[in-house]
Amino acid sequence: MSDKTSISMRVVHRYLGFFLVGIMAVYAVSGIVLIFRDTDFLKQEKQVEKQIEPNVEKAKLGKLLKIKRLEVEKEEGNIYYFKNGTYDKSTGLAKFTQKKLPFVLDKMTHLHKAKSSQPLYFLNIFFGISLLFFVISAFWMYLPQTSIFRKGMYFTLAGIVLTLILLFI
């Protein structure tokens, strides 16, 4: 490692770190919230009335209402009953209860789960590459002959072992 490379890595590491503080905080908070996505933790109930076309087939109802895995539990006359709601076939009116995260947390988790079909996906790619740069550039923060660097290698090894254990259990 040349001294010039070491200094350059440290400078880029420092300023990129300062630049990405906000997005790192968003990913940290949204990552923790996403752990609980299969529960109602922090979610608020909202009553929804949605007008869709009348006489929708049971199989298409979930897609039109944007409710994943919707199953019609029973049918009485013109009314379909499903978990947390109803749909009137004759009028096309659906009434249901929806549980959603507060606005800001919802936006944060959607950013965290971005897909390539969304307009700003390239920002997530930039963020991922930046995090990878942090991993690599950390090895240029201290000279290899120092005790801090050697201790750092022990922590690196422990972190890699922990990661492998978490991946394969």
pLDDT in tens, 17-74: 999 999 999 999 999 999 999 999 999 999 999 999 999 998 899 999 999 999 999 9
pLDDT value at residue 6: 85
pLDDT value at residue 119: 85
DSSP-assigned beta bridge partners for residue 94: 50, 87
pLDDT value at residue 40: 94
Interatomic CA distance for residues 50 and 87, integer angstroms: 9
State pTM to two decimals: 0.76
Scan for tokens 């109602």, then name that residue.
Answer: 40
Q: pLDDT-derived band of residue 127, with 50, 70 and 90 as boundaries?
A: very high
Order of all β-strands in the sheet with 85-88? 44-51, 93-100, 85-88, 79-82, 72-76
pLDDT single digits (tens) 128-148: 999 999 999 999 888 889 999
Amino acid at 86: T
pLDDT single digits (tens) 83-116: 999 999 999 999 999 999 999 999 999 999 989 9
pLDDT single digits (tens) 66-86: 999 999 999 999 999 999 999
Cβ atoms of 61 and 82 closer than 8 Å: yes
The Cα angle at residue 46 between residues 41 and 49, in degrees rounded to 5: 150
> What is residue 138's DSSP assignment?
G
Cβ atoms of 77 and 122 closer than 8 Å: no
Statement: residue 2 has pLDDT above 80:
no
Cβ atoms of 61 and 70 closer than 8 Å: yes
Instruction: Give the residue from 159, 133, 160, 116 showing the smallest Cα distance to 20.
Output: 133
DSSP per residue, 107-126: HHHHHHT--TTSTTHHHHHH
Q: Between the CA of residue 137 and those of 49, 95, 97, 125, 145, what are the distances in Å?
A: 53, 54, 49, 18, 17
pLDDT value at residue 1: 55
